[in-house]
Amino acid sequence: MAALSITVSPVGRAPSFAKGLPITINLPEDDTIADVKKAIELRYPKFYVARQKISLKGDRKALSDEDQLQELEIKDGAELTVKDLGPQISWRTVFLIEYVGPLLIHPIFYFSQKLVYGKTFEHSLMQKYVFTMVLLHYAKRELETIFVHRFSHGTMPFRNVFKNSFHYHILEGFMMAYPIYAPKYGAFSLNIRGTPRNELPFLWFWVSAFVFAELSNLASHIKLRNLRPEGTRTRAIPFGYGFNLVTCPNYFFESLAWFSVCFMSGDMFAWIFLAVSTGQMLIWAKKKHRAYKKEFGDKYPKGRKMMIPFLY
């Protein structure tokens, strides 16, 4: 097998821990971009694989770790570029950080009435049910992150943790918890007494809808997990429950779960959270739908919608 001599140059200034760039490395032609990254890390241990973005000289597009040098038609004496992506953190860790926010924030508002609202009062059934539903939702998300999800990308830039956590810690945490557990919706509030939100049939209807949505969301995640063997980025077309109608039933069921919480509580900030989160999921669903159609072409079901059955 022929060996290739490849020059690797930095994009812009070389990182402080890789001042020796550019460097020349020698690799067999059947090696991959992942092997190029490992060779760089071997030379500069602080420039670990997850921080590197490798591209062809003069091209900004990132090369996939699985791409073979010979398939990319990289010849002896060719030049690649490497960009420092900055400190990285695993996607799994990011998800765990995101979801733990509401698990901590909602109990603070629920149990610290005197501190937060200046007085104590009896929680209404609606408040008790919403509190339980929120905790169950995020406990489920944490468990899915640990035991179910498989990630196509191992890491993301560390700075994204703060941006991603804002949605869960601030919008769904503080901004939703504060009004829902307030005296405004307490057991003896006029906003609750004599309204459907104080009646078991109404509450249990939306609890049932929530449970249905959560279990359906879990089923979707398990289906996606089983399509991707551990340690691979293999992609296949999902079929079955939910997937026969839309590309991303997990997003649809997620929205349905929060829709149930919104109707049960009737609070404006819950509806704002639903609008923001559903809008974001619609964007993700559109991207995933396009990616599936691009990858599988005519094999991908033509009548399948992106996220909302029969509509979008």
249-265 and 268-296 helices, crossing angle to 10°: 170
Asked if residues 164 and 280 have their Cβ atoms less than 8 Å apart, the reply is no
Pairing of strands 23-28, 155-157: unpaired
**Cα–Cα distance, 216 to 41 (Å, whole number):** 43
Strands (E), the chain: 3-10, 23-28, 52-56, 79-84, 88-90, 155-157
Query: What's this model's pTM, rounded to 2 decimal places?
Result: 0.88
Tens of pLDDT, residues 126-159: 999 999 999 999 999 999 999 999 887 788 899 8
Helix, strand or coil, per DSSP, at residue 184: helix
pLDDT of residue 2: 76
Query: Would you give the distance in Å from CA 235 to the centre of its chain?
Result: 17
| pLDDT bracket for residue 228 (50, 70, 90) | confident
Residues 6+ apart with CB under 8 A from 151: 90, 91, 92
| pLDDT bracket for residue 60 (50, 70, 90) | confident
Helix, strand or coil, per DSSP, at residue 157: strand
pLDDT of residue 231: 65
pLDDT at residue 47 is higher than 90: yes
**Cα–Cα distance, 43 to 48 (Å, whole number):** 10
CB contact burial 125-137 (16+ within 10 A = b; e otherwise):
bbbebbbebbeeb
Helix, strand or coil, per DSSP, at residue 53: strand
Q: C-alpha angle 232/9/78, rounded to 5°?
A: 80
Tens of pLDDT, residues 204-219: 999 999 999 999 999 9
Specify the domain boundaries for CATH 3.10.20.90 within the chain: 3-86
* Rg of the chain on CA atoms, in Å: 25
pLDDT of residue 148: 95
Mean pLDDT to the nearest integer, 194-212: 97
pLDDT of residue 234: 72
**79-84: strand order across its sheet:** 23-28, 3-10, 79-84, 52-56
**Measured CA distances, 133 to 27, 138, 153, 186, 210 (Å):** 55, 9, 30, 17, 8
Q: What is the mean pLDDT of the chain?
A: 94
CATH of 3-86, one of 3.40.190.10, 3.40.710.10, 3.20.20.140, 3.10.20.90: 3.10.20.90
pLDDT of residue 1: 63
**Cα–Cα distance, 84 to 26 (Å, whole number):** 21
